[in-house]
Amino acid sequence: MTSAFNQPAEAHHDNCTNQLRKTIANLRACYPSRIISEQFGRSMVQCAADYPQLIAVTADLMHATGMASFGSQFPARLINVGVAEQNMAGVAAGLACCGKLPVACGYAAFTSLRAVEQAKVDCAYNEVKVILAGLSAGLSYGVGGPTHQTYEDVAIMRAIPNMIVVVPSDAVEVDQALRACLDHSGAAPIFLRLGRGPEHTFNAPDAPFAIGRARRMRDGAEASIIANGSMVFEALLASDALAQLGIRASVVNMHTVKPIDTTAVLREAALCKAMIVVEEHSVIGGLGSAVLEVLRGGHAFPVECIGINDIYPPIGPTPELREALGLHADNIAACTLRLLQQVGHAIDTPGTINSNAKRQVQEHTA
Partner 1 sequence: MSRDATLFRPDPVVVQDDQPQTLQGLREMARLNRVDAARMFMAAGNGHFGSCFSCAEIFATLFFNVLRIAVENPNWSNRDRFILSKGHAAPALYSALIRRGFMPEAWMDEFEAKVGAKLMTHPSRRYQNGVDASTGALGHGLSLAVGMALAARIDQRDYRNYVLLGDGELHEGSIWEAAASAAKYKLDNLVAIVDANGLCVDGTLNQVMPIEPLASKWTAFGWEVEELDGHDIQTLLAALDIERGPRGGMPRVVIARTVKGRGVSFMQDVRGWHADVITPAQYQRVLEELQEPLV
- Shorter beta-carbon distance to partner 1: residue 15 or 162: 162
90 belongs to the binding site for partner 1 (CB under 8 A): yes
For the chain, the distance separating the N- and C-terminal CA atoms, rounded to the nearest angstrom, is 35
Selected range binding partner 1 among 24-32, 64-72, 75-83, 305-313, rule: CB under 8 A? 75-83
* Contact predicate 291/228, CB 8 Å: no
- Shorter beta-carbon distance to partner 1: residue 86 or 169: 86
Q: How many CB atoms lie within 10 A of CB 95?
A: 19
Find the shortest distance in angstroms from Cβ 121 to partner 1: 5
Binder to partner 1 among 4, 29, 76, 366 (CB under 8 A)? 76
Amino acid symbol at 354: N
Find the shortest distance in angstroms from Cβ 211 to partner 1: 22
* Residues between 125 and 164 with contacts to partner 1, criterion CB under 8 A: 125-127
- Shorter beta-carbon distance to partner 1: residue 31 or 125: 125
Q: Is 177 helix (H, G, I), strand (E, B) or coil?
A: helix
96 belongs to the binding site for partner 1 (CB under 8 A): yes
Distances in Å between the Cα of 146 and the Cα atoms of 140, 142, 150, 152, 323 are 12, 8, 7, 11, 17
Binder to partner 1 among 32, 75, 99, 351 (CB under 8 A)? 99
Count the residues in the chain: 366
* Residues between 175 and 214 with contacts to partner 1, criterion CB under 8 A: none
- CA-derived radius of gyration, the chain: 21
CA-based torsion, 346, 348, 353, 354: positive or negative:
negative
Q: Binders of partner 1: how many residues, by CB under 8 A? A: 29
Give, to the nearest 10 degrees, the angle between helix 329-342 and helix 7-28.
150
293 belongs to the binding site for partner 1 (CB under 8 A): no
Task: Tell the burial category of 198 from Cβ atoms under 10 Å away from its Cβ (0-12, 13-18, 19+).
Answer: middle
Binder to partner 1 among 24, 45, 95, 238 (CB under 8 A)? 95
Could you tell me which residues come within 8 angstroms of residue 39 by beta carbon, excluding any fewer than 6 positions away? 66, 171, 174, 175
Question: How far is 41 from 126, CA to CA, in rounded Å?
Answer: 28
* Residues between 34 and 63 with contacts to partner 1, criterion CB under 8 A: 55
Selected range binding partner 1 among 121-129, 136-144, 209-217, 345-353, rule: CB under 8 A? 121-129
- Residues in contact with partner 1 by the rule CB under 8 A: 55, 76-77, 79, 81-82, 84, 86-87, 89-100, 102, 117-118, 121-122, 125-127
